[in-house]
A and B are shown apart, each in its own frame.
Chain A
Amino acid sequence: MSAVASIRPDSWNFPLFLHVLGAMILVGAVLTGASVLAFARGDTRMLRLGYWSLLAVGLPGYVLMRIGAEWTASREGFNDEGVSAPTWLDTGYFIADLGLLVFVIALIVGGIGVYRLRAGKGAGLLKGTMVLSLLLLAAFVVAIWAMAGKPD
């Protein structure tokens, strides 16, 4: 069946709403973090703002997205024994898991970068965080496309 033609049972809607809302917050925070870090030009306040966008907004967004994902998957029966997940769901899980790893690395690298800023050292590590954020954004576009279009 075409993805667009599907109507869900009502009990799936709230978990899905939380999942999508969390994902949107995550995407917005990563977009902000990458943009602010890209345009900071060495300004300490902007560099800190970019990092804290990822930590204080992006991380809660990821948690909400993931809780909503698990809740929705369980409602849809994908977590039941013997049920094989469709490709689009596997794609979503793969990007979410790998994305978390990259996100945590970006946060650790950025955290050290912010700490080094206090000591008057350079912002090189935060540039690394910016690059990882841009990679995450690209991966999120693929995940959103897969989750929405549901390719076979």
Chain B
Amino acid sequence: MSFDDWILALHVLSAFAYVGGLVLFWILIVAVRRTDLADGTIRMEPVVKVGNASVGIGAGGTILLGIWLAFSVGGYNIWDGWIIAALILWFIAAALGRQTGQAYMQGMNKAQELRGAGETGPNAELLALNRTQSGVVLHALTTIVVLLILADMIWKPGA
């Protein structure tokens, strides 16, 4: 294996971490929709951290190693249409992902607030925050954009 083959393998592993993190958040989004207890919401926090680490490492690894490959591998250039498309889509996905996180952190913050106040019973406001419609839409859009990046990487239109 050449050095570039190693970088490609790490680039693909990063992509798996990125999408794996998105899958993790889909499962948590479905699970949290039935959670109206502060403790039930807070209990998911360590898993959210695993998801954040996976998405963070994955997103960082794909962009950095991807740019390395664009410069290093013969036959590809950073200004190739499919690579520019991937870069643009990556930034859109990152922005959408950040907003998704903000939408779901409202529920986590409310749960912390309720626990601090000693309220351990079901809470309708917490349930509404955990069922955020904008959060679902934003995560769906993030997923679609990341799948477009995956399709772009496989089909490489114009390459």
> Do the two chains bind?
yes
Q: Is the CB of A35 within 8 A of B154?
A: no
Contact call A4/B16, Cβ cutoff below 8 A: no
> Majority SS of interface residues in chain A?
helix
A2 touches B4 (CB 8 A): yes
Q: Is B13 an interface residue (CB 8 A)?
A: yes
**Would A27 and B8 be within 8 Å (CB), given that A5-B74, A17-B150 are in contact?**
no
Give, as a whole number of angstroms, the nearest-CB distance from A8 to chain B: 8
Is the contact region of chain B dominated by helix, strand, or loop, or is it mixed?
Answer: helix
Q: How far is the CA of A54 from the CA of B19 in the complex (A)?
A: 16
Across the interface, name the chain B residue whose C-beta is closest to A27.
Answer: B20
- Tell me the smallest distance from the CB of B61 to a CB of chain A, in Å: 12
> A86 contacts the other chain (Cβ, under 8 Å)?
no
17 residue pairs bridging A and B, Cβ less than 8 Å apart: A3-B1, A3-B8, A17-B154, A20-B150, A23-B16, A28-B26, A29-B23, A32-B47, A36-B27, A39-B43, A40-B43, A41-B43, A46-B43, A144-B13, A148-B13, A149-B9, A151-B1
| Bound CA span A36–B156, Å | 36
Chain A residues whose C-beta falls within 8 Å of the C-beta of B24 in the assembled complex: 28, 31-32, 35
Docked CA distance A53–B50 (Å): 15
Given known contacts A5-B75, A17-B150, A148 and B12 CB-to-CB distance under 8 angstroms: yes
Q: Is the CB of A28 within 8 A of B19?
A: yes
Task: Chain B residues near A43: list those with CB within 8 A.
Answer: 43
Would you list the 6 A-B pairs with minimal beta carbon distance, nearest first? Answer: A28-B23, A149-B9, A148-B12, A28-B20, A24-B19, A39-B46
Number of interface residues of A (CB under 8 A): 40
User: Could you mark each residue 1-12 of chain B with 1 if its beta carbon is under 8 Å from any beta carbon of chain A, else 0?
Assistant: 110111111011
CB distance from A129 to the nearest CB of B (A): 16
Chain A: minimal CB distance from B151 (Å): 6
* A27 & B16 in contact (Cβ 8 Å cutoff): yes
Q: Is the CB of B8 within 8 A of A148?
A: yes
Partner of B12, one of A25, A29, A49, A144: A144
Q: Is the CB of A16 within 8 A of B154?
A: yes
A148 and B9 in contact, given A13-B154, A28-B22 (Cβ under 8 angstroms): yes
